[in-house]
Structure 1
Amino acid sequence: MWTRHHKPRFYGRLVVPAITACFMSYFVYHSIHGDYGLIAGERFEAHKELNERKLEKLVSERQAMEERVRMLSDGSLMKDALDEQARYALNLLRPDEIVIFDRNLQ
């Protein structure tokens, strides 16, 4: 009868923990640096805040434009607003006038 006696190997006990550590380090790395990781989430939040500020600016510009259109087309037609738009578009004025345009209104 053949019998084998093996010495207990120290490396045999480290195989499973080493493989586990490799898998865990892979997943931890990608949970931080991956496409959907923590750093990508921070970049997304910063981009979202920038776009929200742009949206607020565009909404306020749109409201200002809608107000100007409402003043021109509400039926009572404010003559000074119509006159201002015509002078600005045609670049005309009377000889005795000085016109100062505010770029924020256009």
Structure 2
Amino acid sequence: MGIIRELKVRAGQIAGPVIGMTVVVYFAYHAVQGDRGLLALGKLRGEVNTLQAEVLDVRNERFELEKKVHMLRPETLDPDLLEERARDLLGFGKPDEWIVILHPDDPTLSALATFKQP
């Protein structure tokens, strides 16, 4: 009987620290590996940096487009830009220009050909 009582006493003395260490290990693991842990924080910071770079690219593109739109307004109309857009949209060219139309899906065309004016 003395041995069983001794085991119960020692188990009672060990149970508190073992449970405490288990709780500490559990929380330490989730602080590093969990959904909101240190590794997830590093991953989120990387995503934030990537998205911030993408935002800067989009802002630059938007700035360029706004500048072009501003140049097309009647009060600040740039004749060169107007001509460029009209020729691009309508497919017109000047009488002294040669227009070479290449189809990108045609494998026989590998480079632009040099034409001589008749």
- TM-score grouping bracket, smaller chain normalisation: 0.7 to 0.9
Report SS of the residue matched to 1:35: coil
Alignment of 1:80 onto 2:107: no
CA RMSD of aligned residues (A): 2.1
What is the alpha-carbon distance in structure 1 between the residues aligned to residue 78 and residue 33 of structure 2? 59
What is the alpha-carbon distance in structure 1 between the residues aligned to residue 91 and residue 55 of structure 2? 32
Amino acid at match of 1:51: L
1:104 counterpart residue number: none
Amino acid at match of 1:49: N
Amino acid at match of 2:81: A
Amino acid at match of 1:66: E
CA spacing shift, 1:92–1:12, aligned 2, 3 Å: same
Unaligned runs of 5+ in 1: 100-106
Unaligned runs of 5+ in 2: 100-118
TM-score of the superposition, structure 2-length normalised?
0.72
What is the alpha-carbon distance in structure 2 between the residues aligned to residue 98 and residue 68 of structure 1? 27
CA spacing shift, 1:74–1:42, aligned 2, 3 Å: farther
Whether contact under 8 Å (2:32, 2:38) holds in the other structure is: yes
1:31 counterpart residue number: 31
Identify which of structures 1 and 2 has the higher relative contact order when contacts are C-alpha pairs closer than 8 Å and 6+ apart. Answer: 1
Identity of aligned residues (%): 29
Q: CA deviation at 1:98?
A: 5.4
